Each structure stands twice: as structure tokens, then as C-alpha cells.
Amino acid sequence: MLKISKLTKRYGSGDPVLKELDLTVEGDQLTSVIGSSGAGKSTLLRCINRLVEPTSGSIDLNGTEFTTLNRRSLRIARRRIGMVFQGFNLIDRLTVMENVQSGRLGYISTWAALTRRYPREDIRHAYELMERVGIAHYANKRADELSGGERQRVGVVRALMQRPEILLADEPTASLDPKTSEQIMSLLRDLASELKLPVIINIHNVAEAKEYSDRIVGMRYGRIIFDGLPARLGKAEMDEIYAGVPAQDRAQAGAAA
């Protein structure tokens, strides 16, 4: 279970980006976080694994308080949080298998990583995951030879190679075409259920969030102003979340709401 309490993030002397935010996520839920640009969605995700340092508050993952960990302890604890990035964050010159195995770097020796001598169990598990997401036949192909959707699937498998306790995805479909976006969202929903893994997605596309999520969290100005089932997200709730956003931008965010 992830329990966030009174989480605040302030950059310099400006207004807080996150304002005493409370959020609990558990089970095999896929939770989508929506809101306009500047609402604090990406900052929230990056505070969870301390890619961004919180100003104050608590982030507890299954009994471990992340905000108080020193650098060494944090490096070890981060293995428990998988992260999928909008820009894929792959090493183009490496093969799919080598990119996937980078998810195990926190578990194997530097020598094994440098010489590509991956443990047999890690290779077996990688093939299982790649087969599950449909990229096993690309194992020896360079990452820069793949399409956007294929690259994102590599990113998903790399995160799952950590055997994480929670999976975070920061705009995982933003760089993809509509059909591929739906495929990735469907994949993440199915993996959450199959692996009993809580998944939190920061997403702009409200229609996809409503279609594939178990729960939607709506943010505005660093606060949560909606938290509930997708079916409860109607026009009134959208108006509150996206108040002040131009109509055409709001329509692009969620015409189906």
C-alpha cells in the first residue's frame, strides 16, 4: 500500500506545486491522475520515488517511509518502485534485452552488468515478460529500430524486471498515436490485474483514463479535488478540474467525459 500524507512541494519562494496532498493507493488498482498542465501531476509521481525532493509530508510504501531515507537506502528502496517514462528513456544503441536487463542493475554486480553476464533467472524472466507484452521476437534488435509503441513496451518490461511493489507511469502514451495509446493503456490495466500491482498513471487524455482506469484522481493547483470511479467523472467534475482551461484544450483532454 502507498500512503501519502500532507505532501507538499515548493520550488524556491513560489507557491507550492503540491499542497498538503493526501492519497492512498493499494491492491491491483489502475489509478489515473488527470488535470491541466501545472496541476502537479508529474511532480506528484516524481516525489513518490524522490526524483523530486518533497518539501514536507510523508510517503509510505508498505511500511517504508521514503522521505527520510538517506542516499544509499533510497537507492535500494527505489528498486521497489517501477517507473515508465513518456520519452521511453531507452539506450538506443543497446538491444531490447540489454535495455530490459537494466531494470536489474540494482540487483546485480557492476562487473556482471558491464560484461552483459546476466543471471540465467533474469534472462528467463525477461523472456517471459517480453512474451507477455508481445516483443520477445525483438530481444536482439536495437532499441532505435523499434516503433514508439514497441519502445514503450520495452520500458514497461524494464520497469517490471525490478519486481516492483508499485508501478508509476508518467504520460506513457503522450508520444504515441491514438491506437497505440489505447494498446498501452490496455496493457497497463491488464498487468495491474495479473500481477496484483497498483499502477498510477499521470495522463492528459481523460477519455482513455475513463476507459481503462479503476479510479480517477483529478488535480487542480496542487490539490486533489476529485477522487472516485470513472463513471462519477461527469461534466460538473470536469468543469471544476479544468476551470479556466480554454474549451478547445479541455475538449482534447476529455471529449468523452
Terminal-residue alpha carbon distance, the chain: 29
For the stretch 3-28, pLDDT in tens is 999 999 999 888 899 999 999 999 89
For the stretch 25-77, pLDDT in tens is 998 999 999 999 899 999 999 999 999 999 999 999 999 999 999 999 998 99
Q: Is the pLDDT of residue 255 over 60?
A: no
Three-class DSSP category at 226? strand
Mean residue pLDDT across the chain: 91
Listed in sequence order, the residues at least 6 apart from 39 whose beta carbon sits closer than 8 Å to its beta carbon are 219, 220, 221, 222, 241
Please report the pLDDT score of residue 80 as a whole number: 94
For the stretch 98-122, pLDDT in tens is 999 999 987 877 777 777 788 999 9
Please report the pLDDT score of residue 253 as a whole number: 52
For the stretch 204-245, pLDDT in tens is 999 999 999 999 999 999 999 999 999 999 999 999 999 865
Write out the three cell numbers for 116. Answer: 552483459
Q: Which of 36, 59, 109, 48 is nearest to 81 (CA)?
A: 48
Q: Which CATH class is domain 2-254?
A: alpha beta
pTM score of the predicted model: 0.91
Computed from CA positions of residues 177, 180, 184, 186, in that sequence, does the dihedral angle turn out positive or negative? Answer: positive
31 class by beta-carbon count within 10 Å (0-12 exposed, 13-18 middle, 19+ buried):
buried
Please report the pLDDT score of residue 109 as a whole number: 74
